[in-house]
Amino acid sequence: MLNINEIRAEFPILKKRIYDSQLCYLDNGASAQKPRVVLEAINRAYSLEYANVHRGIHFLSNTATDRFEAVREKIQKFLGADSSDEIVFTSGTTEGLNLISNAWGQNNLEEGDEIILSVMEHHANIVPWHFLREKKGVILKWVEPRSDGSLPPEDVLKVISARTKLIAITQMSNVLGSIVDVKKICESELTRHIPVLVDGSQAAVHMKIDVKDIGCDFYAITGHKLYGPSSSGAVYISKSRMEEMTPFMGGGAMISEVKRESVTFNAAPHIFEAGTPGIVEMIGLGAAIDFIQDIGIKSIQDHELELTRYAQDELDSLSWLSTHGSTLEKGAIFSFTMDGYGHPHDISSILDRKGVAVRAGQHCAQPLMDYLGIAASCRASFAMYNSKKEVDILIRELKYCHELLN
């Protein structure tokens, strides 16, 4: 069982007061806060160990390279990959998905080929495939969630056809919190020869991930949701799919040799990492992964499950509040709208004046908003450092909002 007070003490920003209230940070679905060990790792990397990585001869460059490359193995173990060569560093999930769209999709998809997406996808797992639709004439096939926000694997599998060449699916909705059983999708006989890409941005911080057990071909994560720095992330790419890819960005460590007549590329994974990387950002992500592993992802998951059930019950008790997504298979993410005159932006602004940070808007999920029939929603998303007390604060201030707006 987690000691919440001890964990909260590791996050300096949680001591902050907003206006006249103690910060109640419930916007973790957008970005999680950073523990002291991550802040210290960033500071140390910049103040004592900074230099550009790879091909340096001097001490600082070698030190920075060692620190930077060590993170690859940490991510490999965190995701359960066979080899660190299957881990490509990125600036986050958005870059990772665009990398796959360009480096794999451009080579392996043709006009009329189908990509299966769910309506719950974040824009980052939609727009790169629209690029291929516009450039190559691929067809996007959409799967809608059920009325409770769930997306059973069979609903994805039943739309597979002979032209299906990719399934790109989230493991956890950033709006509804719904968890998709991606393993069942991957282990189906129907997907034996169809690559499956999993957007793990939301899921990886809430549950244990094992890409080999899942059986997916691609799995993308982002650092800023994993208690790490912005502009850090990675994508797991199976060796067999890497062999089908060619680089779409050039420069930096992805090069082995350049001549007037030709260019020879580096081996994977560096072939897909053009330019000077986010050295310090990735070192910070490594510290964040160590922090998560030290606490234990199972302990985090158990704590958040208890918090999810408590928050769901409390939100459901408000008759004038509509919570979107009621499936039991969900993470600690809640989107809601208020009956009457409470626009999500107004609600968020009022909560902010009470020290409660939530997100309001479409959450980069406009197709899902359209499906739900709403223009926007408020979203409260929880992390390992949140408590039932903060759920109570949210409920209290929502009641205040309702009284004020109605």
Q: pTM for the whole thing?
A: 0.98
- The region that residue 55 occupies, defined by phi over 0 for left and psi between -120 and 50 for alpha, beta otherwise, is left
Which DSSP letter does residue 180 get? Answer: P
> Average of pLDDT values for 26-50?
98
Q: Which residues contact residue 202 at a Cβ distance below 8 angstroms, ignoring those fewer than 6 apart?
A: 29, 170, 171, 172, 173, 174, 177, 225, 331, 333
Distance CA 265, CA 256 (A): 5
- Residue 364 falls in the annotated catalytic set: yes
Residue 55 has a pLDDT of: 84
Residues 308-331 have pLDDT tens digits of 999 999 999 999 999 999 999 999
Domain map (residue ranges) of the chain:
4-30+296-405, 39-294
- Give CA–CA dist 194/116, Å, rounded: 11
In the predicted structure, residue 341 carries a pLDDT above the cut 90: no
The token pair at 363 is 């959450």
Say which residue, 293 or 340, is predicted with more confidence: 293
Q: Cβ contacts of residue 65 below 8 Å, gap of 6+?
A: 53, 54, 56
What's the whole-number mean pLDDT along residues 21-36? 98
Nearest Cα neighbor of 211 from 57, 83, 333, 300 is 83
Of residues 56 and 282, which shows the higher confidence score? Answer: 282
pLDDT digits (tens, 9 = 90+) for 147-185: 999 999 999 999 999 999 999 999 999 999 999 999 999
339 — pLDDT class (breaks 50, 70, 90): confident
Q: Using CA atoms, how far apart are residues 187 and 316, in angstroms rounded to an integer?
A: 36
**What would the pLDDT profile of 356-379 be if each residue is shown by its tens digit?**
999 999 999 999 999 999 999 999
Q: Which of 24, 364, 378, 401 is catalytic?
A: 364
Three-state SS for 323-348 is EECCCCCECCEEEEEECCCCCHHHHH
Per-residue pLDDT at 97 exceeds 90: yes
Diameter of the chain by CA atoms? 72
Q: What is the mean pLDDT of residues 351-355?
A: 98
At 24, is the secondary structure helix, strand, or coil? Answer: strand
Amino acid at 350: I
pLDDT at residue 406, rounded to an integer: 85
The CATH number of 39-294 is: 3.40.640.10
pLDDT in tens, 214-241: 999 999 999 999 999 999 999 999 999 9
Whole-angstrom Cα distance, residue 127 to residue 145? 19
Structure-token pair, residue 128: 């790169």
Q: Mind giving me the DSSP string for 210-269?
A: -HHHHT-SEEEEEGGGTTS-TT-EEEEE-HHHHTT---SS-SGGGEEEE-SS-EEEPPTT
Structure confidence at residue 1 (pLDDT): 80
For residue 340, name the pLDDT band (cuts at 50, 70, 90): confident
Mean pLDDT of 245-270: 96
Residue 129's pLDDT is what?
A: 98
CB 241 within 8 A of CB 221: no
* Token pair listed for 389: 């007390």
Radius of gyration of the chain (CA): 22
314-342 burial: b if 16+ Cβ within 10 Å, else e: bbeebeebebbbebeebbbbbbbbbeeeb
Percent of the chain with pLDDT over 90: 98
CB 268 within 8 A of CB 242: yes
Structure-token match 């920003």, residue found: 13
Order the strands of the 233-237 sheet from edge to edge.
87-90, 233-237, 218-222, 196-199, 164-170, 114-118, 139-143
Instruction: Determine the average pLDDT of the residues in 35-52.
Output: 98
Task: Name the residue with tokens 């993470």.
Answer: 331
Question: What CATH number was assigned to the domain covering residues 4-30+296-405?
Answer: 3.90.1150.10
User: Which band of pLDDT confidence, cut at 50, 70 and 90, is reported for residue 6?
Assistant: very high
